[in-house]
Amino acid sequence: MLNQLRAVALDAATLGDVRWEGYEQFASFARYDLTGPDQVVERAAGAHVVFTNKVRIGEAEMAALPELKYIGVLATGYDVVDVGAAALRGIAATNVPGYATHAVAQHAFALLLALVSRVAEHSDSVLRDRRWCDSATFSYWLSPVRELYGRTMGIVGVGAIGERVGALAEAFGMRVVGFSPRPKPVTLITDFTWVSFEKLLAVSDVVSLHCPLFPATRGLMNEKAFSQMKKSALLINTSRGGLIDEADLRRALDGGLIAGAGLDVRSTEPPGRDNPLLGAPNLIVTPHMAWAAVEARERLVSVALHNVELFDAGQPDNLVGG
């Protein structure tokens, strides 16, 4: 019964102003906005259940928390937990897959539309600079506006989010090609073609990244990859910042190897002030917020609680690692 378990959330502030409905079922539930590495053991002392988004829980923390039975990762990625150590200690660890599929796909297209339609740039020229008031003609544009219809969308990593992005691309009249190391059936896209990674780079007008960060994919988008893309191509990344060699991307943007990029993630978050992409041309960056639609965050918190309920009932779901 949850009313016999003590629980703590270590970094609730990363989820914003979501409602933690149902968490009062626990015998006790403490919620901390942010927790530093040296505060984990103190704050989780005596807890059976620990929820974390970005706070790491490794073997040392587990060893110091003998009552810990369960770690609920408030995200899909679970690299913040040493799942091997958890398995050895009989500690269950779960994640929340799929909670932000629609939100991330939507944001990927928001980045793409920002690059091709230049809405913010032109709105600023009208409202801030009053440029339309002084225009000699009824219409103007400050930079080329591009049409997506008839272009090719290349998706690297055709999982749930990648396939959803492909479906949106098809709705815009784009052709869709994809690459995955282990292809799975695609059901949401009518006209879809599997291609090699090199072929995808060569034929795509937009390359959208939706693959996990592994040693094999770190720096996947590097100088060689950019040189294989069309000079008119755009790069979108709502997956993991480490997929891109940022110094190489800066050189590609400066040198016109590609036409632009829209990123929601960076290799280091928050980025340092010396990050090579700061000030790069034809670049749009948002602060790792593709997952953060209100509905997605509330779904995340709800599913995380349901995961514990299932675990407590002896029917665990969304277990990771081990």
Between strands 192-194 and 175-179, the pairing is parallel
In sequence order, the 6+-apart residues with CB closer than 8 A to the CB of 104 are 161, 238, 290, 291
Residue 273 known to be catalytic: no
- Looking at CATH, the fold of the domain delimited by 101-285 is given as Rossmann fold (3.40.50)
Q: Quick count: other Cβ atoms within 10 Å of Cβ 302? A: 17
Predicted pLDDT of residue 13:
96
Q: What is the largest CA-CA distance in the chain?
A: 74
Predicted pLDDT of residue 322:
62
- CA 27/CA 5 separation, integer angstroms: 5
Question: Among 6, 31, 122, 288, which one carries the catalytic annotation?
Answer: 288
> Mean pLDDT for each consecutive 10-residue tract of the chain (322 residues)?
93 95 95 97 98 97 98 92 96 96 98 95 91 92 93 97 97 98 92 97 98 91 98 97 96 97 94 91 96 96 97 95 72
Predicted pLDDT of residue 206:
98
Predicted pLDDT of residue 226:
98
Task: Show the CA angle centred on residue 104, arms to residues 99 and 105, nearest 5°.
Answer: 115
Predicted pLDDT of residue 321:
81
State which CATH number among 2.30.110.10, 3.40.50.720, 1.10.10.10, 3.40.50.11140 fits the domain covering 2-99+294-312: 3.40.50.720
Residue 269 known to be catalytic: yes
Predicted pLDDT of residue 300:
97
Q: Domain spans of the chain?
A: 2-99+294-312, 101-285
Residue 6 known to be catalytic: no
Question: Among 118, 240, 250, 299, which one carries the catalytic annotation?
Answer: 240
Same fold, 2-99+294-312 and 101-285: yes
Question: Among 147, 198, 269, 309, which one carries the catalytic annotation?
Answer: 269
Predicted pLDDT of residue 27:
96
Q: Of 172, 165, 155, 180, whose CA–CA distance to 107 is shortest?
A: 165
